[in-house]
Amino acid sequence: MKAIIKLIVVAVGLFTLAGCKEFLVEKTFTNLNQNIYPKSEGDLRVLCNGLYNMFAVNEHYGRSYLILSDVYSDELTTIALSGPRYEIQNTLITPANTELAMVWSRNFTIISRANVVVQQAPTAPLPEAKIQPFVAEARFIRALCYFELVKFFGDVPLIQSQPTNLDSLLALKPVRSPQKDIYKLMVDDLKFAETYLPKESAIPATYKGLASTGAASALLAKVYLTRAYLPFAEAADFQDAAAACAKVINSGSYDLFANYADVFDVTKKNGIEHIFSIQYDQAPNRSGAMTAFLTPVQVYPRSFGVFPAERKFYNDFPATDVIRKKFVFYDQGVGIGGASYNFLTTPTSTPFCAKYRDDVLAAASTNDRCNYLIVRFADVLLMHSEALNRVNAAEANKYTGINRVRARVKLPPLSGLDQAAFENAVLDERHWELCFEGKRRDDIIRMGKFVSILTAAGNTNVKEFNRYYPVPQSEIDINTNLKQNTGY
């Protein structure tokens, strides 16, 4: 992926379909000239590289996604006493929240650029076999963006083509499409991506980080599994989720690392367990800053530590889960500079997330090389168990995935659970295995425990309608066809 990040993204005038006001008063507008571009595999590679690059900024997976997913859960908190992060953490969310506006705008910007690749790639004078993998990358990325949007906002505009002139773009004021239609597009996109993306083993080492057929199957499993709990679920969604997981599990391309800590070792990135990750590295490539946001200054002197772990989560994390609890938290120890720390001195003091570590880069800067993990093999194993339990509570194989995850961290296997107890066990296992990876809010909403779990964690403001964030007011101001979510 280093080669990807080093490439310069071509400016082709691809903007968000309902972006900021400043865009609407732009003096210049550069169209993608359909007569001259793209003409080669190199052109298509540059266009697709730009899509991946856009995920890595703070306004997306570099920071904001963590705020919307884990700060608004029972895993992370914030040191902020006011402002958009404080509002999200305490369910005081309004349509004016700037974190929401950034996530909405960024995802739709990526979608608009992905649409250009989908539209323009077939015009390149290349054999279809050369073109389709690039279209598959764009459709995978479009599906990922739409998946994030429907989880955060519910109904959103469904845009599958990009206007080719300024007047058409300015006239575009789409309504919000039903989630059912968005999910259909995601399934279609990911099935296409499954077919035309390469296997993991076929991606050169310098291009690791590109979407693979395994990544498409894993994301498709997430889409099926999420839809399966919704009112417009299709009858086979749980079964289809299980089948998509089985395709990944049986592919031979992925496995668990033998040691849990290796999942997060920056020298072992894009390894056997990593299915799709947002790539970060050191200069001249794009570096990350997750260590700065999550790690206390006592560990890395240049860090901010603005998102501590919830103390209740730390207290409730099973003491018998020794390997994971010791690794995922900074609670008591010695920082990289040799100073000792203890974040458990009072009942309300907060430990910190320790999953994102880079003792080389983060030790002397606010940057790091830690990839952001979108989906990894342990996630797929747990989804497989969850889906099988819903297909048939008596299915013995439902224990296989969850017990593989538990075995790695020396926990005993589960057995003899009824359907409800098993589902709770999967939810807990995901909490302990995947904490601080942007999964918790999705999980508790999907399984219908959003309000009960956040209320138990001390968030007394949360209501069922908060499962969706408000549509950003800045978007409604631009496009009055967008209607606000209930409750805001």
User: Which CATH number is 95's domain given?
Assistant: 1.25.40.390
In this structure, the answer to whether residues 63 and 171 fall within a common structural domain is yes
Neighbours of 173 (CB within 10 A): 13
pLDDT band at 285 (very low <50, low <70, confident <90, very high): confident
Is 16 a domain residue?
yes
pLDDT above 80 (res 389): yes
Is 82 a domain residue?
yes
- Give the C-alpha separation, 212 to 139, whole Å: 12
Shortest CA distance to 108 belongs to which of 174, 44, 43? 174
Mean predicted confidence (pLDDT) in 289-316: 96
Contacts of residue 82, Cβ cutoff 8 Å, sequence gap at least 6: none
Both structure tokens of 38:
């793209």
Q: Which of 350, 370, 390 is the last residue of a domain?
A: 370
In this structure, the answer to whether residues 178 and 300 fall within a common structural domain is no
Predicted confidence at residue 30, as pLDDT, reads 41
pLDDT above 90 (res 242): yes
Neighbours of 326 (CB within 10 A): 13
Is 415 a domain residue?
no
In this structure, the answer to whether residues 25 and 162 fall within a common structural domain is yes
Give the type of residue at 182: I
- pTM of the entire predicted model: 0.92
Neighbours of 24 (CB within 10 A): 12
pLDDT band at 162 (very low <50, low <70, confident <90, very high): confident
Is 213 a domain residue?
no
Q: Total domain count for the chain?
A: 2
Mean pLDDT, the chain, as a whole number?
91
Mean predicted confidence (pLDDT) in 104-130: 95
Is 451 a domain residue?
no
Q: Which of 370, 397, 423 is the last residue of a domain?
A: 370
Mean predicted confidence (pLDDT) in 478-484: 95
Q: Which domain holds residue 299?
A: 290-370
- Give the C-alpha separation, 32 to 9, whole Å: 13
Mean predicted confidence (pLDDT) in 411-438: 98
In this structure, the answer to whether residues 189 and 302 fall within a common structural domain is no
How far from each other are the two terminal CA atoms of the chain, in whole angstroms?
A: 41
Dihedral of CA 283/285/289/295: which sign? negative
Of 284-293, 410-419, 426-435, which range is least confident? 284-293
Cβ pair 257, 268 in contact under 8 A: yes
Is 350 a domain residue?
yes
- Give the C-alpha separation, 381 to 256, whole Å: 10
Is 412 a domain residue?
no
Cβ pair 46, 37 in contact under 8 A: no
